[in-house]
Amino acid sequence: MPNPEGTRAVPEPRMQEALRLMLGFAERTGLTSDRPQQRYLWTDAFAVCNLLGLARESGQGKYADLALRLVDRVHTTLGRRRSDDTRTGWISGLGELAGAAHPTRGGLRIGKKLPERRPDEPFDEELEWDRDGQYLHYLTKWMHALDQVARWTGTPRYSLWARELAAAAFAGFSYRPPGGGRLRLRWKMSIDLSRPLVASMGQHDALDGLITCAQLRATASALSGSDAGPNLGEELAGYGSMVEPGQWATTDPLGLGGLLMDAGRVAQLRGAEGGMNEALLDGLLAAALQGLRHPSVEAGLRGAASRRLAFRELGLSIGLHVLELLEASAASPNTRDLLAALGAYRPLGAAIETFWLEPSHRQTVTWTEHRDINEVMLVTSLVPDGCLRLRAVARPF
């Protein structure tokens, strides 16, 4: 599988470091070894995209095979009940054969170490971070990973699984307040999607849902044999009703990177349903620029490694790579002006990568406690194409 452009786009040292880190992750988490499965939905979503990108860059199909194996391991681990649960089987409630054919119909667990909070347990904000359940913003990342597999392999079932997950997520997380009012989203749900664990609404969840549904619909339309399954029209309209332009700005590096990644998808989906147009693109870019201009962002990137969370910063460096993709397709003068202003922050992304490539910075507790997510997202920043570029639907590998 040669690189689509016919040449290796990633410099050799970055490529070798990316391969070393991903192979280490695969061995350590049970993907290529007999070790117990250590599946975590956010990390695995980025890992699938990374492996596809490495397959394209290296021309070696074994990395694409690993991506497909990882999809299967995630579904058979996070699509099923926890080992410490008295219940067994698929969290969707489907039987074994139906569950294997539709592994995402009940959503997917986060993969946290602690079991979810019981209905009779009091809420503990700090402890809740370590408890299992379902996050909408993790589910949309997995939808994107499945969609990339569908686009890159040309296999309809991955598109079906992505759309079935999108339908389950919207049904489980959306609600109308008592007495009516606008549709809302809950931030965290129980494993079976029957009750909220954190009822507040995530700042970018509706936005991510809107763009992801538009992406999945576009892929299904282009992919022969993918007529079956949800068409996501209701979900697209529902997320659209919740999106609030002007409320997206953030100073969180991971959130800023997410805005830029969403901008990259919108630019590639322009003309698709759901308002994938210049207005949405410019709104995302303007929100990212507003956040980056806040002094606290760069100030937070000047501390010692022991006081920094790598995966949050690497989210920003990944997002800044989107600028390379956008500059080649900027259509309006306003978009070009926004990209020119954002271009001043490119060195910030390079500085984040350089900082976390330094071996001594990876000896701190803040790195080692989050090693898997840190290393996988560092790879995404080093080889971003697999995550950021929406490929045209391809023939199977």
Give the relative orientation of helices 136-153 and 156-173 as an angle to the nearest 10 degrees.
170
Residue 61 lies in a domain: no
Burial of 222 (0-12, 13-18, 19+ CB in 10 A): middle
Residue 285 lies in a domain: yes
Both structure tokens of 130: 């370590």
Residue 201 lies in a domain: no
Quick one: CA dihedral 29, 32, 36, 37, positive or negative? Answer: positive
Residue 173 lies in a domain: no
Instruction: Identify the band that residue 1 occupies on the pLDDT scale cut at 50, 70 and 90.
Output: very low
Domain extent at residue 366: 251-382
Residue 74 lies in a domain: no
Residue 297 lies in a domain: yes
Phi, psi of 118 (to 5 degrees): -70, 155
Number of compact structural domains in the chain: 1
56 vs 175: CA distance, rounded Å: 41
Q: Are 345 and 317 in contact (CB under 8 A)?
A: no
Over residues 109-137, the pLDDT tens digits come to 999 999 999 999 999 999 999 999 999 99
Residue 141 lies in a domain: no
Q: What is the pLDDT of residue 194?
A: 97
Burial of 344 (0-12, 13-18, 19+ CB in 10 A): exposed
Beta-carbon count within 10 A of 306 CB: 11
pTM of the model: 0.95
Residue 318 lies in a domain: yes
**Per-residue pLDDT at 7 exceeds 50:** no
Over residues 294-332, the pLDDT tens digits come to 999 999 999 999 999 999 999 999 999 999 989 888 778
114 vs 98: CA distance, rounded Å: 28
